[in-house]
Structure formats: structure tokens, C-alpha cells
Structure 1
Amino acid sequence: MLASLASVLSLMLSTLLMMVAFGLQSYVIPVRSVAENWSTLTVSVIATGYTVGFTLSCIITPKFVLRVGHVRVFTALITLLSIAILLCGLVVDWRAWIAFRAISGFAISGSYLVIESWLNERVTNENRGMLFSLYLITTMVGTIGGQYMVPLGDPTNTSLFILCGVLFSLALLPTALSSSPMPAPPAQARFDIPGLFRRSPVAVVGGFLAGALSGAWLNLGGVFTQKIGLSTGEGATLLASLLTGSALSQIPIGRASDRIDRRIVMVGCGIVGVISCLVMSASIGSSPTVLYIVAALVGSVLFPIYALNVAHANDLAKPDEYVEISSGLMITYGLGTISGPLMVGPVMDRFGPAALFIVLAVYFALYAGYAAWRILRREQHEGLVAKTDFQATTVLPTPGPDVTSPTAQQASQDGLIEDDTVPAWERQPE
């Protein structure tokens, strides 16, 4: 076990530094946007640049990995992250920020893919749970730690932007200097979202709504904390409370969904989301402690629901289809993250910060309602397929499937993954 941990120690350290910078970046951007008196709609448009870049990277980055390998791509992506945040500090114009945030979204998405495919090659069935738990803890601790750095500086000048760029650059050092062998290149993924919808409508619709929920919160949550008058320290605690609630609830939700129809759990999560969001919107003006508690309840279902959709889709699939399904759902999720901020921003401008959670409550209601409708339309396929294990996700669902998994490698050997001309990276879609 210690040997396995040592083999990924440098990767974990790079991940920690990257997520600290990511947490700092994800909070300082909306705080600075509010300080510039940009409208919530403008902030939403900037956020859309980020989500578009994130989604495109799901498709494009693996092609670069095939060409030049994991380490070079990771180095290039972290460099882009550093450049993008430094440019945000140098050129404070919302139109330029759309492009800068698109670069950032592309780079962070690709970095997730490189890290996770690298990590997957280092784990075995015996230590997979322990190492991925460590990975999830690392991402959460790094993100929260970065958010708490905002109160230490002044978002209205360039100091925090420079610090963020430095942290991204530092994230390069552990992997660049590591002597561990590099992971094998991934196999390419195809996407067949219509086919995935025919197989599992609730997974596709739920994945899109999960993306809309997380996209709206991740990009406008910082704006919400500023609009309701919280200090940067209190805002960081509220954001941290939501992430903590998400981390604590993933295992209970996963275990419940492994024992009963996952769609019933989806309905339950949607109901909890509706209630907690309505309570949050009504709690504005209450003590920060009340807001922290309610935020944790919102977080307990906001991020884990995506993993429910992935697990449900995989329940209806053959082992050689898992990668195709994960790829398709990630694209669906990405489209949701694009729509979320664009839908919520204008509503917040019109009706105030409380409208953020009203819209999130509507999304949760749609999520629960559609899952309930699908239960009435189609019974659970008990006995036809064995349930796959629920797998927790990071703070933000990662851009692609396990491209170096034994399932993927066997699929390639069996001819289930086609070759293009050179090593074609083709995976399953759905």
C-alpha cells in the first residue's frame, strides 16, 4: 500500500497545488467582477466562456495526449491556467475575460483528464478505493484552501491574480521532476448521445440538469455571497460548507442507490434540493451560521447527483460500453454547465441574489420530476443486469472516463475500439 501511495505522491502534490489555485481563482473572479460593477448577466456570459472551454477540452485534449504524452500535455495545460489568470489581472475587461476564462476551462478540464488517467494506471483493485478517496480529499481540501486565500489579499488589485498564477506554476514541479514511469496513452472516445438517450433517458436528462445546477452555482455562487453582503471570509466559509456537505453525502447516497432503484434516490435528492434551496433563498439576512448549515444541505445533493446518473446508465450497459457512456454523459453534463449560468444570470439581475436558489430549486424539481416520471414509464430492470458500484466524483465531475482502465484496454484488444490510422483514441460514446 505504501509503495502504491509513493508512486502517486508527486501527482497528488501537483493536484493539491492545482486545486488550491483553482479554488482561489474560482472565488476571486466573481468577487472582482462584482467590484467592477458588472451585471450578473455579464458574469454569466464570462462563465459561459469557461464552461464552453471545459466541454471542448473533453473532446480535444485526449488527441494531444496521444501525440505528445501525459507530462507534456499536463505542462502545457498548467501553463495555460497560469497565463489565463494572469491575463485576467492585467486586462480587466469582461469581453477579454470571456476568452481568458475559456482558456482556463479548457486547461482545467484537460488537467483533470490527465491526472485521472495517470492515477488509474497506478491503482489496483486492492488499493483503488483508498487512493481515489485520497484523491477526492485532496481536491476538496485544495479547493477550500484556495477559497480561504481570498480574504488574505485585495481582489481589486493584481496581487491575488499573481498569487494564483504562481500556485498554478508550482503545481508543475512535482510531476515534472518525478521519476515515476509515464502512463500509457488513452484510447479515443466516440459520442452517441441519441443512442445513450434511447438506452437511459433519465441519465441524459439528469446529467444535463446536474450540469446546469453545478454550472450555475460554481460560477455565480461567489457573486451571491457578495450580493447578500457577506465578507470574503464569510463567503469562503459558505462555499466551503457547500463542498463539505457534498463530500459527506456521497457515500450514503451511493450506498442507498446500490440497494434500491437509483431513480428513487434521484427523486429523493431532487426533493431535498428543492426544500434546501427554498430555505436558503428565505434565509438571506439570517446569521452566517444559518446560511452555512443550509448551504451544506444544498451541497449534499448538488454535486453527488451526477454520479447517480452515471451509475444508472452503466447499470444498463455491458462492461465494454462503460467508457462510451461516461464520455457521452460528460458531454451532456458540459452542455448543462453552459446553460446554467446563462439561465440564472438574467434572473438574478431582475429579482436579486435570492433568485439564484429559486432557479436551482426549479432545476431540482425538474430533476426529481423527470426521474419520477421515468419510474412510472419503465420498471427497474431487476435481474436483467447487475448493478455497477456507485463511484463518488470530485468537486466538479471530470471530463472523461477512465481511459486507461482494464475494461478499456480489453475492449481495444477485442476490437471494440477502432483504430483510425495511427493510434486512434476511440472510446465508447453514449
Structure 2
Amino acid sequence: MRQIWKPFRALYFAALMMLIGSGLLSTYLALRLAAEQVDGLWVGALMAANYFGLVLGGKLGHRLIGRVGHIRAYTTCAGIVCAAVLGHGLVDYLPAWLFLRMIVGLGMMCQYMVIESWLNEQAEAKQRGVVFSGYMIASYLGLVLGQLILVMHPQLGLELLMLVALCFALCLVPVAMTQRIHPAPLKPAPMEPRFFLKRVPQSLSTVLGSGLIVGSFYGLAPLYASQQGLSTEQVGLFMGCCIFAGLLVQWPLGWLSDRYDRAVLIRSFALCLAIAALPLAVFPSVPLEMLFGVGFLVSLLQFCLYPLANAFANDHVEPERRVSLTAMLLVTYGIGASVGPLAAGVLMKFFGSQSLYAFFSFFALVLVWRIRPKAVTNLHQVDDAPLHHVAMPDSMTSSPLVAALDPRVDEQSVHDQMHVIPDPVQDAPVHEGEVVPLADEADEAAEMGDGRKVGRSLSEEEQ
């Protein structure tokens, strides 16, 4: 495995530095506003702006990469992100911070797209799963390390913003110094929202609920912990512990997902999440040991929802549509993660900090009500379902292009969906091709109507 990861060390390092900076920035801003007695609505709005930037960057990133190439796009966005991070220290006007957070999200999404397209270009088909796992580990490890910096440097001064900017500056080095051939720029795969809303409605509902919960967690959990009386070092430990739970659960989750009905698992995890969050939702103040224990358990459960929904959806979508499916899931997640922190911030402002975990519990119960395993018809289930579970990262740590690294996506299926045409914009031979999607409405209509009846049909609603 080390030999497979070795050629990608530079890209893993770039992802690691990006996520250290991103994780530290989110927690720092929440704690900074909490120290200045700013209500949770603004803290939630900052995280919502970040996710809005991520979603927007997924659309604009392809155009930028297609116009100037991968390295120029990456270095441009990294420079802009550095400037936006430092801008938080120059301006105290909160509406300006919203704009800066959106710019950070937009720039990071473009950086994700460059790294992921490069990984996909250089990874052999049989190694894609291992390369993908290395990218995930680097990303989540970066998020955890970003929180632990607060343990070593608890003062909420401008030094932390300088550290964030330093991380984004260092992530420039491995990409700017690469001698590898540039990958061909990709245009976004067709989203086909109506198709997926009809084909996998329960998976999309789960992803939306996961975005609402996890987006609120990243933005407002530091504020909640601060209002529980935790010091800056303890808040960093709390957040690091919770994010580490999300990484820790992925492997046992994959074992369960490959052996049991995924709709039942989603509903079960959602129910457990609703129950687990109740102690922190009911009591305004809890002991430190209980806060860490329950917080770890809640995070363990909430980070299960997106990977399960992704695997469940892939079971019912043809291989040639899986790149589009992942893009649709990430956008749906981003929408939920943009709305969730705003709504939870309002609740925390009027009903206290414990409303954050009440928010988690409520939407987990909504998923219990919404996910109905008996409504799954299996009408469009693929031949080899259930597919091997792959722990897909969310839009906090990836772009829609991460779908091409998914080992369940056959390489030929990706080429069938994407078509290379000359691109006169590029000024170097390695940029002469541009990948664009093929859109054939007749084929889409044929696939919509060509479903195999596998298993039982208990209602007209399809998964």
C-alpha cells in the first residue's frame, strides 16, 4: 500500500494542509465570535456562506480550470483563499466576513477539483480504491489536526489566522512544483435532478438530512462547547474527538453496509442518533465526561448517514450515471449544509445552546419517518447489488470530481459519459483536450423505462 501511495504523497500533503487550515478556521471563527458575545445566528451564517461557496465553486471551478489550466487555477485560488483568510483579521465587519467565508469555500472547491482530477488521472484502475482511501485519510486527518492546534495555541489572536494562511500557502508548494503532465480538464457531469429525484428519493432525503446535521455541527459545535464552559483547549479536543469519530466509524460501517439492508441501516442509525442526542438536547449543562462521551457517540452516528446514502443510491443507478449521481449527492448535501447552520443558529439564539443537539435529534427523527425500507421496489437495482461499500467524503472534504476515484465507477463508464474535444483556449499541448458530457435524451428515456424487477414491489415509490 505504501508503494501505491508513494507517487501521490505531494497531493496528499496538499490536501492535508488545506484541511488543517479549513478545520482550524471554522473553529477559530466560531470561538472568536463566542468570545465577543455574538449570537449563534452569525456563527451559523458564516458556515452557511462557506458551504454556499463550495457549491458555487463546483460550478465555476470547471470553467476556471478549462480556461487557464490546473496549476494556474490551483495557485490562483490558493492565493485568493490566503488573502480571504487574512482579511478576517483586517476587517471586523461581520457582513464582510460572510463574503470572505464564501470566497474561501469557492476557492477551496476549485483546489479540491484540481487535486482529485490529478489523482484520478494518475491512478491505475486497480489501484483506485487504495489511492482514494489515502486521500480520505489525509483529508480527515487534516480536519482533526486543525482542531488540535487550538490545544497547543489556545489564544484567539491573529496568530491563528496567520497559521491558517500559512497552511494554504504551503499547500501551494507540491502542486506548483510538480513535473507531472497536466490532466485534461473536465466539464461537470449532467446533474439530471429530475431523474435522480424519481430514482433515488430516499437517498437524496438522507443526504439532505446529513447536510443539515453535519453542516450545523461543523459550524456551531465549537460555539456550543464554548457556551458549556469549555476552554479553548477543551473545545479543540472536543472537536478533534468528534471528527476523529467520523473517520473511525467508516471501516466498521463498511462491514455492516455490505452485509445488511442499507435502508434498514439508515433508519436504524437515524433512530440511534435521535436518541443519543437527547441528553445534550435536554440538559442546558452537562458534566465534561458526559459531553465528550455523548458528543463522540453522536458524531459516530451522524457521520454514517452520508456514506450509507451514497452506497444505497449507487445500488440503484447504472454505472454510467454514477459520476452524475455523486455530483447530485454533493450538491444536495451542500444545500442542506448551507441551510442547517442558519436554522440551528436561530434556535440557539432564542432557546439556548442545547438547541443544537435538539436540532440533530429532530432531523434524525425526520429521517426515521422518511426512510421506509418496505417502500423500496428494487425496480432498478443493478446486477451486483449491494455494491461494495465505499466511504465517500462529503463536500467539506471533496468536490464532485471525487466520483471518478470511486472504485465502483467503472473506468469505461466514465469515458462513455465524457467526450474529449479540442480546446483552443489551452496554450500547452497537454491542455488540448477538454472533456464534456454527452447528453442523449433518447438513451435517458430508454434507461428510465428499462428496469429489472428484482425482489418484491411493495409500493410505487422507487429507491
Q: CA deviation at 1:43?
A: 1.8
Q: In the alignment, is residue 426 of structure 1 matched against residue 437 of structure 2?
A: yes
Q: Distance in 1 between matches of 2:199 and 2:397?
A: 22
What amino acid does structure 1 have at the position aligned with 2:18? M
Q: Distance in 2 between matches of 1:294 and 1:154?
A: 24
Q: Distance in 1 between matches of 2:17 and 2:139?
A: 9
- Matched residue, 2:383: 385
Structure 1 301/426 Cα, relative in aligned 2: closer, same or farther at 3 Å? farther
Q: CA deviation at 1:179?
A: 2.4
Structure 1 187/412 Cα, relative in aligned 2: closer, same or farther at 3 Å? farther
Q: In the alignment, is residue 180 of structure 1 matched against residue 180 of structure 2?
A: yes
Q: Distance in 2 between matches of 1:237 and 1:2?
A: 30
Deviations 1:220-250 (A, max 9, x none): 1111111111111111111112112111211
CA contact (8 A) 2:274 2:362 kept: yes
Structure 1 27/248 Cα, relative in aligned 2: closer, same or farther at 3 Å? same
Q: CA deviation at 1:56?
A: 0.8
Q: CA deviation at 1:147?
A: 1.3
Q: In the alignment, is residue 325 of structure 1 matched against residue 325 of structure 2?
A: yes
- Matched residue, 1:195: 195
Q: CA deviation at 1:182?
A: 2.8
Q: CA deviation at 1:45?
A: 2.1
Q: In the alignment, is residue 12 of structure 1 matched against residue 12 of structure 2?
A: yes
Q: CA deviation at 1:74?
A: 1.7
- Matched residue, 1:157: 157
CA contact (8 A) 1:245 1:299 kept: yes
What amino acid does structure 2 have at the position aligned with 1:425? V
- Matched residue, 1:118: 118
- Matched residue, 2:140: 140
Structure 1 317/202 Cα, relative in aligned 2: closer, same or farther at 3 Å? same
- Matched residue, 1:78: 78
Structure 1 383/222 Cα, relative in aligned 2: closer, same or farther at 3 Å? closer
CA contact (8 A) 1:17 1:142 kept: yes
- Matched residue, 1:292: 292
CA contact (8 A) 1:216 1:344 kept: yes
Q: Distance in 2 between matches of 1:427 and 1:327?
A: 16
CA contact (8 A) 2:276 2:298 kept: yes
Structure 1 251/299 Cα, relative in aligned 2: closer, same or farther at 3 Å? same
Q: Distance in 1 between matches of 2:110 and 2:210?
A: 20
For residue 148 of structure 1, give the secondary structure of its aligned residue in structure 2.
helix
> Number of aligned pairs?
427
Q: In the alignment, is residue 410 of structure 1 matched against residue 408 of structure 2?
A: no
Deviations 1:352-390 (A, max 9, x none): 110100011111111222113xx2323445975322222
Q: Distance in 1 between matches of 2:50 and 2:415?
A: 37
CA contact (8 A) 1:185 1:404 kept: no
CA contact (8 A) 1:7 1:180 kept: no
- Matched residue, 2:431: none
Q: CA deviation at 1:70?
A: 2.1
Structure 1 116/264 Cα, relative in aligned 2: closer, same or farther at 3 Å? same
Q: Distance in 1 between matches of 2:381 and 2:46?
A: 47
Q: Distance in 2 between matches of 1:382 and 1:91?
A: 53
Q: Distance in 2 between matches of 1:331 and 1:274?
A: 25
CA contact (8 A) 2:5 2:134 kept: no
Q: CA deviation at 1:11?
A: 1.0
Q: Distance in 1 between matches of 2:5 and 2:420?
A: 34
What amino acid does structure 1 have at the position aligned with 2:62? P
- Matched residue, 1:252: 252
- Matched residue, 1:105: 105
User: How is 1:332-371 mapped onto 2 (pairs within 5 angstroms)?
Assistant: 332-371=332-371
Q: CA deviation at 1:125?
A: 4.2
Q: Please, which moves more after superposition, 384-393 or 302-311?
A: 384-393
Q: CA deviation at 1:259?
A: 2.1
CA contact (8 A) 1:187 1:427 kept: no
Structure 1 409/134 Cα, relative in aligned 2: closer, same or farther at 3 Å? closer
For residue 425 of structure 1, give the secondary structure of its aligned residue in structure 2.
strand
CA contact (8 A) 1:40 1:349 kept: yes
CA contact (8 A) 2:283 2:354 kept: no
Deviations 1:25-50 (A, max 9, x none): 11111011112221111222222221
Q: CA deviation at 1:281?
A: 2.8
What TM-score do you get using the length of structure 1 for normalisation? 0.91
Q: Distance in 2 between matches of 1:403 and 1:249?
A: 21
CA contact (8 A) 2:44 2:220 kept: yes
Deviations 1:89-144 (A, max 9, x none): 11011111010000011122222222222222232344333333322222222211
Point out where structure 1 has 5 or more consecutive residues left out of the alignment: none
CA contact (8 A) 1:269 1:305 kept: yes
Structure 1 253/90 Cα, relative in aligned 2: closer, same or farther at 3 Å? same
- Matched residue, 2:453: none
Deviations 1:153-196 (A, max 9, x none): 46543221112111210111122122233333224322121210
What amino acid does structure 1 have at the position aligned with 2:307? A
Q: Distance in 1 between matches of 2:236 and 2:343?
A: 24
Q: Distance in 2 between matches of 1:69 and 1:155?
A: 40
What amino acid does structure 2 have at the position aligned with 1:355? S
What amino acid does structure 1 have at the position aligned with 2:221? G
Question: Percent same amino acid among aligned pairs?
Answer: 26
Q: CA deviation at 1:2?
A: 4.9
Q: CA deviation at 1:305?
A: 1.0
Structure 1 145/35 Cα, relative in aligned 2: closer, same or farther at 3 Å? same
CA contact (8 A) 1:189 1:327 kept: yes
CA contact (8 A) 1:33 1:43 kept: yes
Q: CA deviation at 1:332?
A: 1.0
Q: Distance in 2 between matches of 1:383 and 1:329?
A: 18
Q: CA deviation at 1:269?
A: 1.0
Q: Distance in 1 between matches of 2:42 and 2:5?
A: 44
For residue 188 of structure 2, give the secondary structure of its aligned residue in structure 1.
coil
Q: In the alignment, is residue 263 of structure 1 matched against residue 274 of structure 2?
A: no
Q: Distance in 1 between matches of 2:48 and 2:414?
A: 35
**Higher Cα Rg: structure 1 or 2?**
2
Structure 1 306/413 Cα, relative in aligned 2: closer, same or farther at 3 Å? closer
What amino acid does structure 2 have at the position aligned with 1:237? L
What amino acid does structure 1 have at the position aligned with 2:241? S
CA contact (8 A) 1:241 1:293 kept: no
